[in-house]
Amino acid sequence: DTTVKQNPRYKLARVGKPVNLICSQTMNHDTMYWYQKKPNQAPKLLLFYYDKILNREADTFEKFQSSRPNNSFCSLYIGSAGLEYSAMYLCASSRGGSDYTFGSGTRLLVI
């Protein structure tokens, strides 16, 4: 099985409420990534885990949290959703930083 699974496929959230997105992979990849994709824009890297080490991008450092309780799972957490968080969130995994495998994404709508 060479897939990355993301749940849920669609998520509706209220402004000010927390959001938790889930990603899993069964390829024993050491690295897992979260990207944010808005219409007509490039996917933007938010953070990635190399093994148990979390690396967050400087410009989104305070907006997103993540956890990786084991090799297979990685979550993306938004503490207080704002309208600007509405986007597609893409999870990917890789072994050693090459050949990413992407999930189908979770489309988040914040109202």
Partner 1 sequence: AQSVTQPDARVTVSEGASLQLRCKYSYSATPYLFWYVQYPRQGLQMLLKYYSGDPVVQGVNGFEAEFSKSDSSFHLRKASVHWSDSAVYFCAVSGTGGYKVVFGSGTRLLVSP
Residues lying near partner 1 in the complex (CB under 8 A): 4, 31, 35, 40-43, 45, 48, 50, 90, 92, 94, 96-105
Of 49 and 81, the one with the shorter C-beta distance to partner 1 is: 49
| CA 72 and chain centroid, separation | 13
Minimum distance between the CB of residue 48 and partner 1, rounded to whole angstroms? Answer: 7
Nearest to 30 by CA among 55, 64, 9: 55
Q: Please tell me the distance from the alpha carbon of residue 52 to that of residue 17, in angstroms, as a whole number.
A: 27
Minimum distance between the CB of residue 106 and partner 1, rounded to whole angstroms? Answer: 11
Of 5 and 63, the one with the shorter C-beta distance to partner 1 is: 5
Alpha-carbon distances, residue 15 vs 12, 19, 60, 109 (angstroms) = 10, 10, 18, 10
Of 66 and 81, the one with the shorter C-beta distance to partner 1 is: 66
Minimum distance between the CB of residue 67 and partner 1, rounded to whole angstroms? Answer: 19
Contact yes or no for 104/23 (Cβ under 8 A):
no
